[in-house]
Amino acid sequence: MRPAFLLTGMLASMALSWGCSGAVSGNSSTQPPPQTYDISGTISPSAGGNGAAVTLSGAASATATANSSGSYTFTGLANGTYAITPSHTGYTFSPTSQAATINAANVPGVNFTATVQQAHSVALSWIASTSTVAGYNVYRSTVSGTQYTKVNSSLVGGLAYTDGAVLGGTLYYFVTTAVDASGNESADSNEVSANVP
């Protein structure tokens, strides 16, 4: 009777030792990639949006160029608050900038309206200097009597100049100077003002 008991004990120990082998750990060394999201919108009409630079600032910084339809997208963004600002020469935008907050979701529909800036200019003319001159310089300021900046890139040969780099809603002050062949410049002329609507 002892041999049967011994065989039963051997089978029991074999049954307990049979199964999986190896080390099992509850920790994984690979982390899932961080979630990223998009901010997108459209600048309309498309003429004002096409080629517009759109700047992203805030939790991250980037610049995108709107496509021919005026659409733009910033991709790969983390949760956070951002400011979106469009710019395009010859246009103003409404609104000028917008805030967008990413909170575990894409943010579509950050849209802008582009408006063509109205071109402004000031036509100036003056009386010829009594001295022999090579030409004239034209100076502009937004402060009467001071802080003048030369607006012509080369001497003006005639007695008139049109300043096409003025902005609407601004009061400007202008003076001219006469310049001789040696480059000597006269004192400022009398100041004139121009209120650009």
Other C-beta atoms lying within 10 Å of the C-beta of residue 138: 23
Classify residue 105: in a domain, yes or no: yes
Quick check: 112 and 92 in contact, CB under 8 A?
Answer: no
Render pLDDT for 15-31 as a digit per residue (tens, 0 to 9).
Answer: 444 455 555 555 556 67
105 CA to centre of own chain: 23
Note if the pTM is more than 0.85. no
Please tell me the total count of domains within the chain.
Answer: 2
Domain end among 73, 101, 116: 116
Render pLDDT for 142-181 as a digit per residue (tens, 0 to 9).
Answer: 999 999 999 999 999 999 999 999 988 899 999 999 999 9
Classify residue 142: in a domain, yes or no: yes
Task: For 35, list phi and psi in degrees, rounded to 5.
Answer: -75, 135
Domain end among 84, 116, 148: 116
Domain match, 127 and 99 both: no
CATH of residue 141:
2.60.40.10
Domain match, 131 and 111 both: no
